[in-house]
Structure formats: C-alpha cells, structure tokens
Homo-oligomer: A and B are copies of this chain.
Amino acid sequence: MKGVAWILSVGNELLIGRVVNTNAAWLASKLTFLGYSVRRIVVVPDEENDIVEAFREAINRADVVILTGGLGPTPDDITNLAFCKALGVEAVVNDEALKMVRGKYESRGYALTPERIKMAMMPPGATPLPNPVGTAPGILYESGGKLVVLLPGVPKEMEAIFENHVEPLLKSRGPPVYFSEREVVVRGVPEADIAPVIREVMRLDKRVYVKSHPRGFEVNAPLLHIHIYASAGSKEEAEALVSKASDRLIELIKLKYGDRASISTG
C-alpha cells in the first residue's frame, strides 16, 4: 500500500439526505486502485468549526486527504478559508488562481465580485488546479510528505480536476501498487456456513481480502456475492493472488457443500 487516505465531504445536502455521496465512492474507488488504503470517509456540515476539526484530524492521521465541496462563490462555501484556519495560516489570494477565475467571468462580461475573488483564496504555497468544467479552481497543498487536495462538490468538476491533476501525481508517488478484484456468486449456502471457508481462504496470503455480501434471504434462498481483492507490486501478481484465492474458495465450497452450492464467477 502507498499510504493511508481519508476522504472528507462538506455539505449540508449530504447530512439531510438530499444528495447521496457518490463523490466519496468515486474517489474511494480511484484511491484504492491507485494503491492507497482509504480508512475514513467523513461528512461534515458547511460550518467552519466542523470543517477545521475534520481537516486537523485527517491531516494528523492520513498521508493523503481528499476533500470535496464548499469551494464555490456562495456564502456557505467556506472550505478554502477553513483549511487555512486548520493549518493556522492566513488565507491569501493566489495570483494564478485569480487569473483562472477572472478568465472565466470577465470574458463573458461578468464583474469580479468579492464572492468570486474568494474562490482564488488559499494557503500560501498552495497550488491552484484548473477547473475545465466550472469556475472554482481545486487546491493542492503539500507539507511534510502529506498531500491535501480540495475539490469542488459538483461531480463533473471534481472528476475532471482529479483525473487531470491529482491522479497522475498520486500515481507517481511511492512504489507502484496494483489492485485486482473478482466476484464469486454462490447460491444455496447460507452466509454463516461460508464464514469458516472465507477464513481459510484469507489465510492463503495476507495481501488477499475476501468478503461476502448476502443478496437473497439468508435462510430461504441464500444468495451470496463473495468479493475477493488483492494488492501487489505488479498487475500480474495481484491478479495471480486473486485467481489463487478464487480457485481455493470454489474448491472448498464444492468439497463441503457439493451439489447444494451453485457457483458462478464474474
């Protein structure tokens, strides 16, 4: 693993259940495939104290922190300012970021209001990340080997900035790590009976992780999706680990349950 990652999501709309946090799932998948171990997703409201607290804890505990939300021009967009407070530094207008913001508005005849200038404010030494879709730049900040990235909450903007600027950087940090996964679907055996089999498969290699997800009704019509994951230093090695674990899982289930179990892979 390349390091521990935390994902922070800012927005009241997530905490009243109006919006499902697809941003966090998208980022979690990206970070996992890049070789990072995502240990927390934390959702906080659009309030300074909560954002500052979340930043401080995340920076303290993780190697990489990715935050989404609260970078726009409205009064409740305060993430960049809260980030400065968490670091204990004064927010400054970044010249490059201001150029980006000004370019978006002035060419269409809109004035550069204080709300718009706010989108160019960040900690001294931070790098603005161009937003090809919307107006608020992302913010990248490195300190003491830790990386903090602030992205807008609008999914199209977040994804574009991540793929253009954050993913290449994360890929280049540390040794290469590859992640592989496979799914085995088992009908006819309750989850509780599979538990000792999963325990045995996980003993094969500590880089392998196996988890069952019940889909049917556990007792009447048991249907399990069993996910197998592994990470290793090369693509081939990660895939070989997953193959080995998957073969062993199927072998053990057949041995133990014979015709009762119907198995398929995907």
Q: Which residues of A contact B (CB under 8 A)?
A: 9, 12-22, 24-32, 38-46, 50, 72-76, 104-105, 108, 110, 113, 115-116, 133-135, 154, 181, 190-196, 198-199, 209, 211-214, 217-220, 227, 229
Contact = CB atoms under 8 A, between A and B. Distances in A.
A75 B193 CA distance: 11
A89 to B, nearest CB: 25
Contacts of A43: 24, 40-42
Total identical chains? 2
Given A72-B191, A74-B191, A192-B113, A16 B40 contact: no
Contacts of A214: 72, 134, 154
B115 A192 contact: yes
Main secondary structure of the interface of A (DSSP, over half): mixed
A169 to B, nearest CB: 19
Contacts of A196: 115
Given A45-B39, A74-B195, A18 B29 contact: yes
Contacts of A16: 28-29, 32, 38, 229
Contact of A219 (B14, B26, B104): B104
Contacts of A50: 39-40
A25 B17 contact: yes
Residue in A31, A74, A193, A212 with the greatest tally of chain B CB atoms within 10 Å: A74
A199 B74 CA distance: 9
Given A74-B192, A134-B218, A195-B73, A32 B17 contact: yes
Given A154-B214, A213-B13, A214-B134, A219 B32 contact: no
